[in-house]
Amino acid sequence: MKKFVDVIVPLPIANQYTYSLPQEMEEMVQIGCRVVVPFGKKKFYTAIVTNVHYAAPEGYETKDIAEVLDSSPVLLPKQYEFWQWLAEYYLCTLGDVYKAAIPSGMKLESETLVEYNPDFEATAPLPEKEQKILDLLSRDTEQCVTQLEKNSGLKNVLTVIKSLLDKEAIFVKEELKRNYKPRTEARVRLVNGEADEAYLQRLFNELSRAPKQLMILMKYVELSGWVARGYALKEVTKKELLEKSGGSAAVFNGLVEKKVFEVYHQEIGRLDKGISDTGDINPLNIAQQQAYGNILQCFREKNVCLLHGVTSSGKTEIYIHLIQEVLKTGKQVLYLLPEIALTTQITERLKRVFGHRLGIYHSKFPDAERVADVPDDGRVDEHEGRLGDELAECGEGQREYAAVCGSVTGAGRAGGRGIG
């Protein structure tokens, strides 16, 4: 009787998929093992077996699994139960949990990027298939699995890649990094970078019959601070220039064609790191000063302190004073919020004090933005209840302040405990 397996694929798909087992693999497969499965017309994924059975699915014809990757389970029953709990608790799919839980090198797929290890030295002759892959990578050091499969003419190339990974002959790069594109901003400058008053006067005269173009040029002179001699010119974005001058893109392009302006693209961080105006910290009132003093005293005896206060009682001001003390020592602060909805409200208040030393990160950011550098001085993080693990990763001397920087308002969850 033919055997079948149910598997989890590393995709945000609600259901598990059923594949048939070739006879020669029936004794090799165990629940919790990884297998290579075809998905769609040309793609292959590393799936995890959750069930082995004899019940053929109705309504469609099953595909055979392509290869068995493990001789023993990589996902244990207790871990699988935990995955199911995570999927239910966070309203996501098992595929989402799988993708987050398993390292990239263990979930190879058609679009996985493989990189040649130049330091690899074989201690024995490699099998023909492995040597073929290495030869291809030695000529082009970064290729995706699909490309390697096409260039080598090999089928089930994932098993060959797994073997080379085990020998540390190759590396696997996260697809996220390959997809990341730096964020850029279009900025404007005069083509003549050494422009003087005589040059500008000549431009004004030339544009006297083109009032709309003249208006854009005059606005640029104002925004760039050109008239303030002795100071470096401020960079002006194309967007700001058009908005402030009221000009159109067509009129602006006319100035570019006349060689008055040139447009260049400046890479900017997805977390704004420019200089912003900041204000002084608000002084604490008597009740806040008392709470602040009690917190500092508590930290001398314990690593954690719970601050309880009703909405609008001034907890954030106390947090700001605590954060300032930590930043003065050259350390960082992790500020956790229980819900993404609170992020804007809190960060606007913190930016008025700490400016662009503040970094913001939460699960609504697309993958590309998660790659961006996080500022060194401080960090604001919406973490939806996973407080314990994050605090465990904070350095000594930082953990106590991170622990207090939450909010009882909109109570977060930390293993069922309210945080504050």
Which residues have CB under 8 Å from 87's CB, separation 6+? 93, 94, 96, 97
Model confidence pLDDT, tens digit, residues 223-235:
888 766 555 577 8
β-pairing verdict for 183-190 and 261-268: antiparallel
Q: Is position 279 within any domain?
A: no
Model confidence pLDDT, tens digit, residues 251-295:
999 999 999 999 988 766 544 544 455 678 889 999 999 999 999
Q: How far apart are CA 53 and CA 67, in angstroms?
A: 18
Domain range spanning residue 240? Answer: 188-268
pLDDT band for 31, please (50, 70, 90 cuts): very high
Please give the pLDDT value at position 150: 82
Q: Are 145 and 109 in contact (CB under 8 A)?
A: yes
Are residue 130 and residue 205 in the same domain, yes or no?
A: no
pLDDT band for 15, please (50, 70, 90 cuts): confident
Are residue 336 and residue 382 in the same domain, yes or no?
A: yes
pLDDT band for 108, please (50, 70, 90 cuts): low
CATH number for position 392: 3.40.50.300
Q: Is position 417 within any domain?
A: no
Q: Is the pLDDT of residue 313 over 50?
A: yes
Are residue 141 and residue 175 in the same domain, yes or no?
A: yes
Q: In the predicted model, what is the mean pLDDT of the chain? A: 77
As a whole number, mean pLDDT of residues 74-85 equals 94
Tell me the CA distances in angstroms from 96 to 5, 13, 84, 193, one per residue in order: 20, 8, 11, 52
Are residue 46 and residue 86 in the same domain, yes or no?
A: yes
Residue type, 281: I
pLDDT band for 357, please (50, 70, 90 cuts): confident
Which residues have CB under 8 Å from 41's CB, separation 6+? none
Please give the pLDDT value at position 79: 94
Q: Is position 397 within any domain?
A: yes
pLDDT band for 370, please (50, 70, 90 cuts): low
Please give the pLDDT value at position 295: 92
Are residue 34 and residue 92 in the same domain, yes or no?
A: yes
Q: Is the pLDDT of residue 8 over 50?
A: yes
Please give the pLDDT value at position 18: 93
Q: Is position 108 within any domain?
A: no
Which of 102-106, 320-324, 381-385 bottoms out in mean pLDDT, i.e. has the lowest? 381-385
Answer left, alpha or beta for residue 415, where phi above 0 means left and psi between -120 and 50 means alpha. left
Are residue 125 and residue 223 in the same domain, yes or no?
A: no
Range with top average pLDDT, 38-47, 185-194, 383-392, 404-413:
185-194
Q: Which of 216, 237, 268 is the last residue of a domain?
A: 268
Q: Are 161 and 124 in contact (CB under 8 A)?
A: no
**What's the domain count of the chain?**
4
As a whole number, mean pLDDT of residues 13-32 equals 89
Are residue 227 and residue 314 in the same domain, yes or no?
A: no
pLDDT band for 109, please (50, 70, 90 cuts): low
Q: Is position 275 within any domain?
A: no
pLDDT band for 379, please (50, 70, 90 cuts): very low
Q: How far apart are CA 338 and CA 319, in angstroms?
A: 16
Model confidence pLDDT, tens digit, residues 177-212:
344 455 678 899 988 876 678 888 889 999 999 999
Q: How far apart are CA 403 and CA 388, in angstroms?
A: 9
CATH number for position 9: 3.40.1440.60
Please give the pLDDT value at position 32: 93
Q: Is position 337 within any domain?
A: yes
Are residue 192 and residue 175 in the same domain, yes or no?
A: no
Please give the pLDDT value at position 337: 85
Model confidence pLDDT, tens digit, residues 162-184:
888 888 888 776 443 344 455 67
> Dihedral through CA 147, CA 71, CA 99, CA 66, nearest 10?
40
Q: Are 405 and 322 in contact (CB under 8 A)?
A: yes
Q: Is position 329 within any domain?
A: yes
Q: Is the pLDDT of residue 366 over 60?
A: no
Q: Is position 420 within any domain?
A: no
Q: Are 187 and 235 in contact (CB under 8 A)?
A: yes
Are residue 252 and residue 326 in the same domain, yes or no?
A: no
Q: Which stretches of 329-420 are DSSP H helices?
A: 343-354, 367-370, 387-393, 399-404
